Structure 1
Amino acid sequence: MDLNTILSQLETANEEDIEKLLQQYNRENMHTFSFDQKEETLRSKLCQSVLTVLGKQVQPSCQKTCLETLRILSRDKRVLGPVATREGMLILGGMARLRAGQEEGDNQNSSQDCTQSEEEERVVVEALKCLCNVVYNSPAAQQVSVDVQLAHGLCASLRTARSWHHEVGLFTLRLLFLLSALLPDVRVVLRREWHAVRLLTEVLEHTLDVRWVGPYEAARPDPQALPLPAEDNERAMEALKALFNLTLSEAGGEEDDHQFRLIAAILRHLLMLKTETEEKTEEAHSHAVNLLNNLPVSCLDVLIDIPVQGGQEKYGGKNMDAVQVLLDFMEKRIDKQGSNFKEGLTPVLSLLTEGSRHHREIRRYIKAQVLPPLKDVKIRPEIGTTIRNKLVRLMTHVDMGVKQTAAEFLFVLCKESVDNLLKYTGYGNAAGLLVARGLLAGGRGETQYSEDEDSDTEEYKSAKPFINPITGHVEEPMPNPIEEMTEEQKEYEAQKLVNMFDKLSRQNVIRPMGVRPDGTLAPLEETLCDPHEDNSGSDSD
């Protein structure tokens, strides 16, 4: 339908005709994602006309149709000028039953109005969808949303989460996520003044049906229970994303510590749940890992300190079920073909690294799974299908972040001991980490670890003298390439090698390096002492 025709008819049409006109426009453009630039001005005028209709007292069916039109138009960020105004955002906020720009006592269009018909509820959903599009596509609308305190209205809506219908809850949480992602200043206000972290925690608790059996211990999910419904899972994911944004900045104090431990307990419960599909379960675990990374590392003891459900005696009575889920998740991410390791794998590696560094039981359990006592040392550490083999391969990954994170994880499991790391990985795989940490000369990192008993197997002890420290395995004897050479041939090859190095050095292709006493690399001339130099400070006899 021609936009000029629609605009001319909207000016004089009654409510019923307006609805029919816009319904036809919506049907023709519902699946259109590219708009003609020539009609940009006309679409902007249509936005203004639709807002004018919404500002009048029209029936919910007409409101819904108008909002559908606005949602379609809001995909085009170039035509959002009329909507990204105080008046436009207040109209949409009112349609969404948010108390945007209103006093606390003003209950008109309040999110607490539970006496909505099904048609009125569709109006709320469409308004929330429009707000999500407009806020995402328009920086001007983002600023107006601050001025009208849209986030405050969303927090008021969070308090009624138990009475939400699915889509109302879903798009309320999505809008809160967008505001917290796009506006750092709003994050601070949401957290400090409107207690959004606590409210979102309560939403998660209700959505995941958490039943507490201890201060930070949720009841174990019933193995026979049905998987988490898809709709509950969708809302939980949006709440986790918003919580991730709100916990990015550091905080302190007893209240925060309690809130973070509560979140950690809920996330442990989530890790033990199954959803309707394996893909959705993995997505839930991914969001849980991201949020756990934001929590203080001291709160991770909540994952294993489960007194009612009990744990394994060899790990101090701690329950390692959640840690095993994280290990399984990590291995799935390593095995996933074509995945982005930096986004998909490094968060869980970082989480397990910090958990192992600060919690002895977590480190001991993970080491038993990842780096069990060595027996077969005839195969290179990076070859094979064990989790150790996969992680050692990552130590030479092309992505620097992935390489460093994998190496740091294994280093912490080895209690930051160079000798232990080399035993499991070989010098060639570990060289990058050792150079970065200044540990080429051996030793330990700065963190202190408890002493464990000797875990070397008899097979490893007997093979240790024959292990190549560079490759980390016992190599088959290689034939001596100069055995058949005459002395003249040996001299010729040696001189040839010297000349090659000299040429590369003069052309600055290579620069001979040595190791300082502190384990760091330096130009060779700086690491060599002059044999004729008297360092004693006095003449020798």
Structure 2
Amino acid sequence: MDLNTILSQLETANEEDIEKLLQQYNRENMHTFSFDQKEETLRSKLCQSVLTVLGKQVQPSCQKTCLETLRILSRDKRVLGPVATREGMLILGGMARLRAGQEEGDNQNSSQDCTQSEEEERVVVEALKCLCNVVYNSPAAQQVSVDVQLAHGLCASLRTARSWHHEVGLFTLRLLFLLSALLPDVRVVLRREWHAVRLLTEVLEHTLDVRWVGPYEAARPDPQALPLPAEDNERAMEALKALFNLTLSEAGGEEDDHQFRLIAAILRHLLMLKTETEEKTEEAHSHAVNLLNNLPVSCLDVLIDIPVQGGQEKYGGKNMDAVQVLLDFMEKRIDKGSNFKEGLTPVLSLLTEGSRHHREIRRYIKAQVLPPLKDVKIRPEIGTTIRNKLVRLMTHVDMGVKQTAAEFLFVLCKESVDNLLKYTGYGNAAGLLVARGLLAGGRGETQYSEDEDSDTEEYKSAKPFINPITGHVEEPMPNPIEEMTEEQKEYEAQKLVNMFDKLSRQNVIRPMGVRPDGTLAPLEETLCDPHEDNSGSDSD
């Protein structure tokens, strides 16, 4: 339908004709994602005309149709000028029942309006969808949303989460996520003044049906219970994304510590849940991992300290079910073989910090990842065990993935160079050791407990024959000089010396040595000066 025709008819049409006119436009453009640039001005005028209609007292059915039109138009960021104004945002906020810009008491009352009809509810949903598009596509609208305190209206809506219909809740949470992602200043206000972290935590509690049996302990999900419904899972994911944004900034104080421990307990509950599909379960676990990374590492003890449900005596009576879920999730992400940076490094970082600061977590993970060595005839990077997979990642082309995997194994070895080399070989560990200045051996700076690190009899007997570079026992190779004469040996040796001398003179290679602190340096810097006065040094 020609836009000039629509605009001319909208000026004089009654409510019923406006609805029919826009419904036809919506049908023709519902699946259109690219618009003719020549009609940009006309589409902008259509935005203004639709807002004018919405500003009048029209029936919910007409409001819904107008909002559908605005939602279609809001895909084009070039025509959002009329909407990205105080008047436009207040109209959409009013349609979404957010009452942006009102005082807190008025806001709470408006969030508790009388029961809406199905048609009125569709108006709210369409308005929220429009706001999501407009906020995402228009920096001007983002600034106006700050001026009219749109996020404050969303927080008032969070207080009524128990009475939400699915789509109202879903798009309320999505809009809050967008505002917290795009506007760092709003993030701070949401957290400090409007207590959005607490409100979102309560939304998660309700959505995941958490039942508390201890201060930070949720009842174990019934193994026979149905999987988490798809709609509940969708809302939970949006709440987790918003919480991730709000917990990015630094926190402190007893109130924050309590809130973060509650979140950790809810995330443990989520890790133990199953959704309707394996793919959705993995997505839920991914969001849980991301949020756990934002929490203070001291709060991770909530994952294992579950007195009512008990734990394993071997690990101080701690319950390791959630840690095992995280290990399984990590291995799945490794097996996918792609998108390691975003998909794998968060869970590796989480398990690394958990192991560094919580002895029982480290001991449990090490037993699963680095069990005592028995077969040392195969290179550490070859095989299908979780150790083999992680050692392969230590030489990955992506520096971030490589460093994160190496750091994880290093922490499991209590930051002992000797232990790390035992499990990985010097060749795989060299990158980490250079970065940490530990080529000469030793330990990292973190202090660890003195629990036993026993070796198997198989490893002890094979240890003298292990190649420290490759980390395995190699088959003996035939000696190429055994059948040479003394003259041939001398000739080959001189030839090798000449080759190195030539490369050195041309600066192709430069002899390197290791400083006392373990870092690499040119050889001449690491050699002692034969004329140096050592008379004042202590004798051994």
How far apart are residue 163 of structure 1 and its match? 0.1
Cα deviation 1:276-326 (Å, max 9, x = unaligned): 000000000000000000000000000000000000000000000000000
How far apart are residue 513 of structure 1 and its match? 1.0
Measured in 2, the distance between the counterparts of 1:81 and 1:424 equals: 61
Query: Is the contact between residue 98 and residue 109 of structure 1 (CA under 8 Å) also seen in structure 2?
Result: no
Measured in 2, the distance between the counterparts of 1:122 and 1:63 equals: 9
Cα deviation 1:5-28 (Å, max 9, x = unaligned): 111111111111111111011001
Measured in 1, the distance between the counterparts of 2:304 and 2:539 equals: 66
Cα deviation 1:229-262 (Å, max 9, x = unaligned): 0000000000000000000011000000000000
Cα distance change of structure 1 residues 520 and 5 upon mapping to structure 2, 3 Å threshold: same
SS of the residue aligned with 1:106? helix
How far apart are residue 493 of structure 1 and its match? 2.5
How far apart are residue 367 of structure 1 and its match? 0.3
Cα distance change of structure 1 residues 107 and 147 upon mapping to structure 2, 3 Å threshold: closer
SS of the residue aligned with 1:522? strand
SS of the residue aligned with 2:513? strand
SS of the residue aligned with 1:508? coil
Partner of 1:453: 452
TM-score by length of 1: 0.98
Query: Is the contact between residue 180 and residue 245 of structure 1 (CA under 8 Å) also seen in structure 2?
Result: yes
Measured in 1, the distance between the counterparts of 2:278 and 2:137 equals: 32
Partner of 2:259: 259
Query: Is the contact between residue 97 and residue 109 of structure 1 (CA under 8 Å) also seen in structure 2?
Result: no
Cα deviation 1:38-68 (Å, max 9, x = unaligned): 1111111100010000000000000000000
Measured in 1, the distance between the counterparts of 2:424 and 2:361 equals: 21
Partner of 2:110: 110
SS of the residue aligned with 1:441? coil
Point out 4+ residue stretches in structure 1 off by more than 4 angstroms. Answer: 537-541
Query: Is the contact between residue 108 and residue 156 of structure 2 (CA under 8 Å) also seen in structure 1?
Result: no
Cα distance change of structure 1 residues 538 and 364 upon mapping to structure 2, 3 Å threshold: closer
Query: Is the contact between residue 98 and residue 107 of structure 2 (CA under 8 Å) also seen in structure 1?
Result: no
Query: Is the contact between residue 95 and residue 109 of structure 1 (CA under 8 Å) also seen in structure 2?
Result: no
Partner of 2:229: 229
How far apart are residue 532 of structure 1 and its match? 4.4
How far apart are residue 455 of structure 1 and its match? 1.3
Q: How does 1:119-130 map to 2 (within 5 A)?
A: 119-130=119-130
Query: Is the contact between residue 374 and residue 460 of structure 1 (CA under 8 Å) also seen in structure 2?
Result: yes
Measured in 2, the distance between the counterparts of 1:421 and 1:294 equals: 28
Cα distance change of structure 1 residues 488 and 131 upon mapping to structure 2, 3 Å threshold: same
Measured in 2, the distance between the counterparts of 1:155 and 1:491 equals: 84
Query: Is the contact between residue 173 and residue 242 of structure 2 (CA under 8 Å) also seen in structure 1?
Result: yes
Cα distance change of structure 1 residues 539 and 243 upon mapping to structure 2, 3 Å threshold: closer
How far apart are residue 482 of structure 1 and its match? 1.8
Partner of 2:333: 333
How far apart are residue 509 of structure 1 and its match? 2.8
Measured in 1, the distance between the counterparts of 2:278 and 2:537 equals: 76
Greater alpha carbon shift after TM alignment, 394-403 vs 448-457: 448-457
Show structure 1 runs of 5+ residues with no match.
none
Q: How does 1:128-207 map to 2 (within 5 A)?
A: 128-207=128-207
How far apart are residue 108 of structure 1 and its match? 10
How far apart are residue 518 of structure 1 and its match? 1.2
Cα distance change of structure 1 residues 182 and 539 upon mapping to structure 2, 3 Å threshold: closer
Measured in 2, the distance between the counterparts of 1:402 and 1:489 equals: 48
Query: Is the contact between residue 107 and residue 153 of structure 2 (CA under 8 Å) also seen in structure 1?
Result: no
Measured in 1, the distance between the counterparts of 2:151 and 2:108 equals: 17
How far apart are residue 114 of structure 1 and its match? 3.9
How far apart are residue 401 of structure 1 and its match? 0.4
SS of the residue aligned with 1:105? helix
Measured in 2, the distance between the counterparts of 1:359 and 1:107 equals: 45
Greater alpha carbon shift after TM alignment, 361-370 vs 501-510: 501-510
Measured in 2, the distance between the counterparts of 1:184 and 1:315 equals: 41
How far apart are residue 501 of structure 1 and its match? 2.5
Measured in 2, the distance between the counterparts of 1:538 and 1:64 equals: 88
Measured in 2, the distance between the counterparts of 1:107 and 1:467 equals: 72
Cα distance change of structure 1 residues 139 and 223 upon mapping to structure 2, 3 Å threshold: same
Cα distance change of structure 1 residues 51 and 109 upon mapping to structure 2, 3 Å threshold: farther
Measured in 2, the distance between the counterparts of 1:97 and 1:220 equals: 37
Verify: 1:286 aligned to 2:289, yes or no.
no
Verify: 1:372 aligned to 2:367, yes or no.
no
Greater alpha carbon shift after TM alignment, 28-37 vs 528-537: 528-537
Partner of 1:467: 466
Query: Is the contact between residue 74 and residue 130 of structure 2 (CA under 8 Å) also seen in structure 1?
Result: yes
Cα distance change of structure 1 residues 303 and 490 upon mapping to structure 2, 3 Å threshold: same
How much identity, in percent, do the aligned residues show?
100
Cα deviation 1:125-166 (Å, max 9, x = unaligned): 000000000000000000000000000000000000000000
Measured in 1, the distance between the counterparts of 2:123 and 2:383 equals: 57
User: How many residues are paired up?
Assistant: 540
Q: How does 1:443-522 map to 2 (within 5 A)?
A: 443-522=442-521
Cα distance change of structure 1 residues 540 and 205 upon mapping to structure 2, 3 Å threshold: closer
Cα distance change of structure 1 residues 91 and 427 upon mapping to structure 2, 3 Å threshold: same
Show structure 2 runs of 5+ residues with no match.
none
Cα distance change of structure 1 residues 108 and 311 upon mapping to structure 2, 3 Å threshold: closer
How far apart are residue 490 of structure 1 and its match? 2.4
How far apart are residue 454 of structure 1 and its match? 4.0
SS of the residue aligned with 2:367? helix
SS of the residue aligned with 1:213? strand
Measured in 2, the distance between the counterparts of 1:323 and 1:490 equals: 58
How far apart are residue 452 of structure 1 and its match? 1.6
How far apart are residue 102 of structure 1 and its match? 1.4
Query: Is the contact between residue 132 and residue 175 of structure 1 (CA under 8 Å) also seen in structure 2?
Result: yes
Cα deviation 1:167-211 (Å, max 9, x = unaligned): 000000000000000000000000000000000000000000000
Measured in 1, the distance between the counterparts of 2:538 and 2:334 equals: 63
Query: Is the contact between residue 240 and residue 291 of structure 2 (CA under 8 Å) also seen in structure 1?
Result: yes
Query: Is the contact between residue 99 and residue 109 of structure 1 (CA under 8 Å) also seen in structure 2?
Result: no
How far apart are residue 538 of structure 1 and its match? 11
Cα distance change of structure 1 residues 178 and 538 upon mapping to structure 2, 3 Å threshold: closer
Q: How does 1:371-390 map to 2 (within 5 A)?
A: 371-390=370-389
